[in-house]
Amino acid sequence: QVQLQQWGAGLVKPSETLSLTCAVNGGSLTGYYWNWIRQSPGNGLEWIGQISHSGGINYNPSLKSRVTILVDTSKNQISLNLSSVTAADTAMFFCARSHISRQLTFDSWAQGTLVTVSS
Amino acid sequence: DIVLTQSPATLSLSPGERATLSCRASQDVVDFLAWYQQKPGQAPRLLIYDASNRATGIPARFSGSASGTDFTLTISSLEPEDFAVYYCQQRSSWPPTFGQGTRLEIK
């Protein structure tokens, strides 16, 4: 059974770049999309974007100018960079899997990383 | 973006009772709606996809239905572990969006 494990800096300064990584253990990247989703008290759950094993990418238009999602097939990992962060980007960030047949239904989630934006 | 409005915000019930949670979409999402359960300190868990299909390993007491832009999650007989926050989510239109959640609490 696939397990998603994520990590990254929990404290980021304003205007800097938030970086998170998600490792896919016990499963293949192939046949799925790999998503980043964030959750905050003010904005609830918000989909950030997704990438397929072959590098196909979709971003939320509201964040597209600041988001980069990458896949490293050699390591079975996905990464998220969110640039020029502000306090409004403080949230719990999750990586999540979706099957290519239902690429926006999230059937497996990592445990989440709390990221605080503060100087 | 499609707005999903969940009601009620909080539902207080006792174990063994039937729970009915609602989600209304601001426009047609066909049946491309999912339900998730989230417990404190945990990630959301997929319960129902495409309005009425239970995800793998989800007990039969959870069911979903649809009528136009109105969707319902029903828990037939509440177990103690069912008290959590529930979210709906649409995949009909980009970007996918979530409702604000219904908190199901023990009465």
Work out the percent of chain B whose per-residue pLDDT is above 70: 100
pLDDT at B74: 98
Question: Nearest CA of chain A to the CA of B60: how many Å?
Answer: 18
Structural tokens at position A23: 């490792």
| Interface subset of B 38-57, CB within 8 angstroms of A | 42-46, 49-50, 55-56
In Å, how far is B5's CA from the nearest CA of chain A?
12
Where does the pLDDT of residue B23 fall: very low under 50, low under 70, confident under 90, or very high at 90 and above?
very high
- Mean pLDDT across A42-48: 96
Q: Widest CA span of chain A, in angstroms? A: 42
- DSSP character for B96? P
Whole-angstrom CA distances from A50 to A36, A78, B82 are 6, 10, 30
- Residues of A at the B interface (Cβ-Cβ below 8 Å)? 44-47, 58, 60-62, 94, 96, 102-112
Per-residue confidence band for A44, with pLDDT thresholds at 50, 70 and 90:
very high
Choose the closest CB to A44 out of B34, B42, B100. B100
* Helices (H) then strands (E): counts for chain A: 0, 11
Quote the mean pLDDT of chain B: 98
Closest CA to B53 of B66, B41, B43, B44: B66
If one compares A97 and A54, the residue with the highest pLDDT of the two is A97
* Nearest residue of B to residue A111, measured between CA atoms: B43
